[in-house]
Amino acid sequence: MNLKNKETQLFETLNKLDSIADLIKNSKEESSYLKKISSQLEKEKEELHQKSINLEQEKNSIINELKIFEQKLNSEGLSNQELLNKIDLIEKENKIIKDELFKMETELEESRYKITETENINKNLTEEVNSAQSELKSTKEQLEQILKNKKMFVKKIDELSQETDAMLGEFDKW
């Protein structure tokens, strides 16, 4: 009966090992997915950074155009109305650039938040994987000890069986 209990415990332990192995596999898949998302967020961050640089260059270009325009104005003597129209146009363009820059900064901040969140999730998953691996190792060691004990038990039974057979053989001789 004790051997039967040991076998039942052995099968339960094997089932637990299978479950732990499935957990590890699933956590590795999730970790891979999170790394992919992190990579995509990093790419978006770079794109936003490049857009920001482009807008800054456009801003500098507009400022240079304004300086050139101011020089022309001073040299050509444009009318006040033309000057006011050009100033309005430049202010509208400047407002559009500021709005786009604000939007890009907001997107960049969201990307940073997503990256931080992804890193935290990845860290938690790594800890879970490490914990599961430790449990798996411990369970494996227990299973190996149980198997070792079972082998010793079977060996002892075989030895006792052989001794019994030998005694019965001698008993029959008497």
Q: How many CA atoms lie within 13 A of 7 on its CB side?
A: 6
Question: Does any domain span residue 136?
Answer: yes
Question: Does any domain span residue 168?
Answer: no
CATH of the domain at 122: 1.10.287
Question: Does any domain span residue 173?
Answer: no
Question: Does any domain span residue 108?
Answer: yes
pLDDT tens, position by position, for the chain (174 residues)? 577 787 888 778 878 777 777 777 777 777 787 788 888 888 888 888 898 888 889 889 888 988 887 787 666 555 677 778 888 999 999 999 999 999 999 988 998 898 899 899 889 888 988 888 998 899 899 989 989 999 999 999 989 889 888 888 887 776
Q: Domain residues for 155?
A: 9-163
Which is nearest to 132 in space by CA: 9, 21, 53, 3?
21
Question: Does any domain span residue 174?
Answer: no
Which pTM does this prediction carry? Answer: 0.36
- Alpha-helical (H) ranges within the chain are 2-76, 80-173
Q: How many domains does the chain have?
A: 1
Which is nearest to 132 in space by CA: 5, 8, 47, 28?
28
| pLDDT at residue 9, rounded to an integer | 82
| pLDDT at residue 47, rounded to an integer | 87
Question: Does any domain span residue 52?
Answer: yes
Cα–Cα distance between 147 and 152 in angstroms, integer? Answer: 9
| pLDDT at residue 27, rounded to an integer | 75
Torsion-angle region of 77 (φ positive above 0: left; ψ -120 to 50: alpha; else: beta): left
Contact 20, 149 (CB under 8 A): no
| pLDDT at residue 101, rounded to an integer | 92
Cα–Cα distance between 79 and 74 in angstroms, integer? Answer: 11
